[in-house]
Every structure is written in structure tokens, then in C-alpha cells.
Amino acid sequence: MPGKAKVPAIRFKGYTDAWEQRELGDVADQTCGGGTPRTSVDEFWNGDIPWIQSSDLTDGKVFGVIPNKMISISGLKNSATKLVPANSIAIITRVGVGKLAFMPFAYATSQDFLSLCKLNIDPWFGVYSCYKKLQSELHAVQGTSIKGITKDELLEKDISVPSIIEQEQIGQFFKNLDNLIILHQRKLLKLKNVKKAMLEKMFPKNGNNVPEIRFAGFTDAWEQRKLGELCDVYDGTHQTPNYQSSGIMFLSVENINSLKSEKYISNEDFTKDFNSFPEKGDVLMTRIGDIGTANVVESNEPIAYYVSLALLKKKSLDPYFLKESISSETVKNDLWKRTLHIAFPRKINKNEISEVLVPYPEKREEQEHMGMFFKNLDNLITLHQRKYEKLQNLKKACLEKMFV
């Protein structure tokens, strides 16, 4: 029998009634399983019915599923799967248990799913409530390497349900929030693709001495020299640091994107171990584990760094141009060829870094134009990355506070 449950920590204004506790089996008038026809029979496929596999679902993404396969009527008849009505909730019960999606169209599934059909609660509230419930209980799911949950176990799970009007408001809130998350995710992906394309077009490909795309006014052929001729190459301390609660910030490979760390060494150790250290306008590059991720030092504060990073001391090249040249196809390929792949973790020796060939325009002005272009593009990517992460954290917090 349904019983009264506690109220959530955060509610829309005007709602005070306690939520009711109900089993998942009671919020849907029908359930639908899945099955796979014989994959070798072509006539079972290439139909017009979306066929959902566990790989089509992304953790945390509860709508907007795009199926990779379409099944035919013959395929339905020759498998255990059935046509699932639109506005159902597809829940993975085998590999990838805990993932689920609201399906606004009719579909069929593999045997990895159980679908809740003909819902008697608001469907958007239902999918987020189920997601919250399953995520909170993942640790209790039975199984070893492949975790799973039976149909009966799933349908016996309890969720708490408010009035239908409050359900609709909560469901719409999370639907809109997810739409906003997807919007920023797409913008972020688009910007990353723009940068990838520009790296391919704005740096010469192997065998060429001019790029496909240039800023107006620049026509001279590019030069090519060894990295060790364009900057001085150092690596960090090989000693295990004696960390302190304050002092000189200490960077390692995991800090390359932000060049920020909460680890410090003493001023005495810094003076003793670092004759050469990063200064504003220098470039740091990963050389152990991750190979060839670079960033420009923008601070005048003294910085210590570990052997997993290489320091490229500025000479003639614009630092932001140098950072992006390391991400270009030509330089990446040369770094990769010189990397010790038999080492664990893999690494590139300091002397090999100095031998890497770097193409560059001789005119400093063209270097600066390119460096600023990519710096601004990186700032835009970072802005959308932060917005995306902030919205994801907001969703996580609201799932905790707006459901019982």
C-alpha cells in the first residue's frame, strides 16, 4: 500500500503536501522487454522502427537518444522484442545498468532493456525520478563484472510521487535544464571541432612550406627548424618533492591545463633544485604519460615543476604560436615517433624533444596573429566548458534536493 514519504528539501512555491511512496510497477500500466533477431538476416534490419541498444544511451543523458539501427516488421516478428509505444521509459537492466531514457517515439529494444509503458505519472517527472533512484542504488545492484537487475527487482523499487501538477513542474524544469546542458555541450563540441579544423588548415602539412589558410598580407614560405634551436629545453626535478602547506607552487603533468596546483615546496628546496624555472612567456609541455599537451606560463610568480613536464624557454617564437604548433599534425607526428612507447608510462626524452622539427613563419607579426587567434578560441572553449560543467553540477544538486 502506498504510504506517505518525506518532502524534498527544495520545492516550487505553493506545494506543501507530503509525497506518496509507490513502486515502479505501479506507475506504469504495461512493461515491455526486448530481444535481438538473428543479426545475419538482412531482411530483419533496414526497416523504419528505431531499435535501441545499450550503447545508444549516455550516462546522465535521459532524452534525445538517436538509434544507430532500424529494425523491420519481420525483425520484430522473429525476436522477443515488441514495439514499445511512444512516451515510455527505456531502462537498461543488464550491461550499463542505471542508464535510462525517455522515448517520445515508438521503438524496440535489445534484451538489455525493460521499458515502462503507458505511464500514469508525468513522463518527464518519471524519467528523472527513476534516474535519481537507480543512481542512488547502483552500489546495491547484484553481479560481478557485469552488473544487472531483474525485472521483478526493478519493478519493486520505490519512488516518491507528489501531485500530478507538481510532477509536471518538476519534469519540465529538468527537461529545460537538460536542454540547456545539451545546448552548451553542442557549442563546446562545435568550438573544439573549429579548433581542430583550424590546426589542420593554419599549419603546413607534411611536405608543404605554406598553410592552406593564412591571415591577409602574409605570403612568405615558412621556415622549419629543430625545437632546440628555437627555445631552450629543460625538464623538471627528478626528486620526489617534499611537499609543504605553502611556499612555491609545484606543477606536474595533471596540472597542465590550468597551471594551478595545491601542492607546494619550500623556498629552500626551490632555490636548491631549480636553476631554470618557468617564467612568463615560457611554455610547459607534458612528456611522461600524456605526450605533447602544452600551455603558456602567464604568471611572474616562481613555479616548480616535476620531471613529467618539459620547460620550453622562450627565445624567438611567440609563445602562443609555439603552444599551438605543438598541437599541429606535423609536430605531433614527430613527437609521437620520438616517444618511447615501450616505457611505462610512455615518455619522450628531453634530448628527443630538442630534435623535433617545428614549422613557423619567420615574421613575428604572423606568429602573433596566429597565437592570439588560438588563444581567443581557447578562451571561448574554456568559457563554454565552465558553463557546461556548472549546469551539470546544478542538475546534480537539484536531483538531490528536489526529489525525496
Domains recognised in the chain with CATH numbers: 20-161 (3.90.220.20), 162-219+361-404 (1.10.287.1120), 223-358 (3.90.220.20)
> What percent of the chain stands above pLDDT 70?
97
Q: Which of 52-56, 115-119, 253-257, 382-386 has the lowest mean pLDDT?
A: 52-56
Q: Is the pLDDT of residue 24 over 60?
A: yes
CA dist 73 → 78, 109, 115, 224 (Å): 9, 13, 19, 61
Asked if 228 and 316 count as a contact pair (C-beta separation under 8 A), the reply is no
Instruction: Please state, in angstroms and rounded to a whole number, the distance separating the CA atoms of residues 152 and 132.
Output: 19
pLDDT of 224 reads: 95
CA 120, 121, 123: angle at the middle one, nearest 5? 110
**Among 65-74, 156-165, 292-301, 323-332, whose mean pLDDT is lowest?**
65-74
Rounded to the nearest integer, the mean pLDDT of the chain is 92
| pLDDT score at 142 | 52
pLDDT digits (tens, 9 = 90+) for 204-228: 987 799 999 999 999 999 999 999 9
Q: Quote the distance between the C-alpha of residue 129 and its chain's center.
A: 24
Helices 319-326 and 364-401, axial angle in degrees (round to 10):
70
149-178 pLDDT, tens digit per residue, is 889 989 999 999 999 999 999 999 999 999
pTM (2 d.p.): 0.82
Closest among 193, 192, 196, 187 to 391, alpha carbons compared? 187
C-alpha cell at 283: 611554455
- What would the pLDDT profile of 121-138 be if each residue is shown by its tens digit? 999 999 999 999 988 877
The per-residue pLDDT for 144 is: 46
Q: Does position 5 have pLDDT exceeding 80, yes or no?
A: no
pLDDT in tens, 42-61: 888 889 999 999 889 887 78
Please report which confidence band the pLDDT of residue 140 belongs to, taking 50, 70 and 90 as the band edges: low
Is 145 a residue whose pLDDT tops 50? no
The Cα-based distances of 91 to 97, 108, 125 in angstroms read 8, 12, 15
pLDDT at 147: 67
Q: In what order do the strands lie in the sheet with 283-286?
A: 232-235, 309-313, 283-286, 294-296
pLDDT of 30 higher than 50: yes
